[in-house]
Amino acid sequence: MSLRTPLGRVLGAGSAHEGAHHWTAQRATAVALTLLTIWFVVSIVRLPLADHASVTAWIAHGANPVLLALLAIVASWHSQLGVQVVIEDYVHGRHAKIALLLASTFAHVLIAAVAVLALLRIALRSFG
């Protein structure tokens, strides 16, 4: 028999002992994503022209490639965390759940990697 309250037992962690970490990561990525999205929208609105040359020049200028890479990585991570919760809650077969979690993680890493690669190609092309 435990002297802890039911709430005290729940707040510690789930059965896998990762509940608090997942919750914290989701909230941290939400805050980072909010700040990065505000920066992105303000920066895009302030662009004088919307043609390809001015957008690629903006991407390669200053800290923009780093902030855009962070935006892509954080958005992908936040999305992966949300999809993970949906899969864990609504997929009941053990093998299907594992397969979907692996596929989701792979897809989100691939999306982030492709976005960062595209940013690097644009940013490094301006130096060459």
For residues 71 and 77, give the distance between their C-alpha atoms in angstroms, rounded to a whole number. Answer: 10
Q: Which domain holds residue 51?
A: 18-125
Asked if residue 9 is part of any domain, the answer here is: no
Using pLDDT thresholds of 50, 70 and 90, give the confidence band for residue 41.
very high
Residue 42 lies in a domain: yes
Q: Examine residue 2 and state whether it is found in any structural domain, yes or no.
A: no
- Are 119 and 65 contacting, i.e. CB atoms less than 8 angstroms apart? yes
Confirm whether 85 is domain-assigned.
yes
Specify the CATH number for the domain of residue 62: 1.20.1300.10
Residue 66: band (very low, low, confident or very high) from pLDDT cuts 50, 70, 90: very high
Long-range contacts of the stretch 121-125 (C-beta < 8 A, 24+):
122/56, 122/59, 122/60, 122/65, 123/59, 123/60, 123/65, 125/56, 125/60
Judge if pTM exceeds 0.85: no
Residue matched to tokens 């490639």: 65
Does residue 10 sit within a domain?
Answer: no
How many domains is the chain partitioned into structurally?
Answer: 1
6 within some domain? no
Residue 126: pLDDT over 80? no
Band of pLDDT at residue 20, cut at 50, 70 and 90: confident
Cα–Cα distance, 39 to 57 (Å, whole number): 17
Backbone angles phi, psi at 95, to 5 degrees: -70, -40
Asked whether residue 73 is assigned to any structural domain, the reply reads: yes
Instruction: Using pLDDT thresholds of 50, 70 and 90, give the confidence band for residue 31.
Output: very high
* pLDDT > 70? residue 10: no
Burial environment of residue 68 by CB neighbours within 10 A (0 to 12, 13 to 18, 19 or more)? buried
Q: Is residue 58 part of a domain?
A: yes
